[in-house]
Each structure stands twice: as C-alpha cells, then as structure tokens.
A = this chain, B = another copy of it.
Amino acid sequence: MKTKNVLKLFLTAGLLFGVSTLFAKEKVYKLKLATTWGPTLSPLIDSAKNMAQMAKTMSNGRLIIKVDASNKHKSPLGILDMVKGGQYDMGHSASYYWKGKDINTLPFTSMPFGLTAPEQYAWFYYGGGLELMQKVYEKHGVYSFPGGSTGVQMGGWFRKEIKNLDDLSGIKMRIPGFAGEIMAKLGVQVTNIAPGELYTALDRNNIDALEWVGPSMDVKMGFHKIAPFYYTGWHEPASEMQFLVNQKVFRKLPKDLREILRVSMRLAAYDMYAQNYDMNAIAWDKMKKEFPNIQVKTFPKPIMDAMKAANKTLRQEMSSKSKLLKEVLDHQDAYMKKVREWSKMSDYLYLQDNI
C-alpha cells in the first residue's frame, strides 16, 4: 500500500471513530414514570412533571421521561410493583402505600409524632436516612429518593366536635396507614377510600370523618360543607413522597445523565415542599374569609395522650416483627431527640414570639 493511501485510511478510521463516539453521546434515553396521582393533582403531580422537564432541558433532550398519571395505568397504589417488575422505569408515589407488602418501607413517608419537614430533610440527606432507605429498597431492585414534602398534614374533617375519647368511639373515619392503626386502637372504625370517592362517601354517611392532606388540597374538595370541624395535625408532620427508579435502568444511564436524574429528583422534591407551603398559605387565608363556619380545632390533651400511648405500643409491636424496621425506627428516634432540641431553640421559640 502507498504511504498516501495508508494516511487516508488512518484519517478516515480516526474520523469515523470520533464521529461515532460523539453520536453515542447523543443517544436519547426514554424512560416511563407512573404516578399515584391524577393528571391535575397539584402539587403532587407537579413534582414528577417538574423533574421530567428539568431532566429534558439539562440533558439537551437526551433524557426524556414520560409521566403517566393514574388514569393511564389504572394502578395508583401499585407503583412499587410496576417499577420492580419493569413495566415502568420510574415511579412517583408515597412509600407507606405498600407497607402491607413490605413493612420496612413505612417510616420513609412520615411517622405520627415524628420528624418535621426541615428535620426530615436533614435526616435524609445528612443524618443517614437516605442510606437506610436504599438498604430497605435494595431487595426490590429499586432506588428510592425523596419526592416532595407536604409539610404538616391536617388531622382531618369531622362531622361533630371531638371533645373526649367517647366522641371518637365508634365513628367511621377514612384514615390510611399507621395513623389509621392508632385511631383503631382508640375505637375508631377505620377505613381507606380512594381520593376520588371521598366526598361522596361523606355525603352518603358511609363515613363520619376523613383526613386528606391540608388546606392546599382539602378546601376545593368541599368537605367543610358536611364536616365543618377541621383538626390540626399530629399523624403526618412531614409526609414525603418518593421517586422510585428501577436499578437496572439507572445503572444503564451514562454518568452525566445519572447525575442529571439525581439532581432533578432532589430539586423537584424540595420545590414541592415550597410550592405546597405557598399553596397552604393562600388556601388557609381564602378558607378563613370564604368559609367562616369552618371550626378549626386541636384535639384535647387526653386524646393526644391516648394517641401517643397507642403509637408507642404499636411501634413496639411492629419493631418486634422486623429487625430492619427496628433499626430504621430507632435511628429516626435517636435523630429526633437531637434535632428537636434545635427546632425548639430556633423555629419554635422564634414563632412563639412572632405569631
């Protein structure tokens, strides 16, 4: 072969290698995400949508995440199963929805009398919480990340005022999760009902009380027309949603897209907390002006004490059944002891003097 031809060959080969490398970097990854939420359920659905939008723009279109609302896949409470099984690459939901399948996933949404949102974010990201969450989700082949906090949820809507423990006894209430178990200990007939049927259930006397989220999402549901006693919160002080990602899918992404995905999820979560704080402020103000008949109440101390006692007993029962659950709950408790002291000296004392 002549020198000139050899040179040509090298140049061509080099050029083709360079081009193919560059085009490989331009490969588009398309992921599908299933949510528990309806297509317009702000701010919950916004967290997933904002995350997808950030990932698309930051990756210059190389990471496209399609967000399916619950009307698309018809399985609002089956998100973990679908991400685990590979029908979906990602999910956005709440960890405590599948406590029946894996009790260890319970403590990552919110625990009664547990951490507040700033405390819980500190725990997740700097106190070891995220590592414990990955440990729990490892056996499902899924990574789990915080997906947005509602902050303190309200204690719910009641048809009549709850003055003592007798008033609770026998009433039918929609309250899911661990809080429902506590209410059951206090004599409440506990049930769970899908969000879309809550108003009808109340209207038809199928239930006497219900909890949903807080002013940002409750007031437009119209519960106050039937159950005007609105109780402040105790059972979900910082309900954190969760992003789920199938581990195999995550590992196949190039390094830059993995970081784009991680950062988009983490920012969307914090942003949902700020968005919902704003929505709650607006909705609370509107509620006070437009619906002066709503009676905002706090459960009397004897009821709170009974709830706390039931909480303690139930946690001990649960902990005795799973070593890993005990590890997570003990870790949260130890962290709360320290961080609550700081919350008291900072936000609590400050608010006390400025309300």
Contacts and interface: CB of A to CB of B under 8 A. Distances in A.
Contacts of A58: 58, 256, 259-260, 263
Among A234, A348, A350, chain B packs the most CB atoms within 10 A around the CB of A350
B347 A351 contact: yes
Interface stretch (A15-23, A78-86, A100-108, A245-253): A15-23
Interface in A151-201: 151-152
A93 interface: no
A60 B347 CA distance: 40
A340 B256 CA distance: 40
Nearest to A23: B22
Interface string A45-56: 000000000100
A126 B237 CA distance: 22
A331 to B, nearest CB: 14
Contacts of A340: 354-355
A354 B113 contact: yes
Interface string A4-44: 00000000000100110011011000000000000000000
A299 to B, nearest CB: 9
Contacts of A317: none
A238 to B, nearest CB: 9
A109 interface: no
Contacts of A116: 347, 350-351
Interface of A: 15, 18-19, 22-23, 25-26, 54, 57-60, 113, 116-119, 121-127, 151-152, 214-215, 232-234, 237, 254-256, 259-260, 263-264, 266-267, 270-271, 273-275, 277-282, 284-285, 288, 296, 298, 304, 335, 338-355
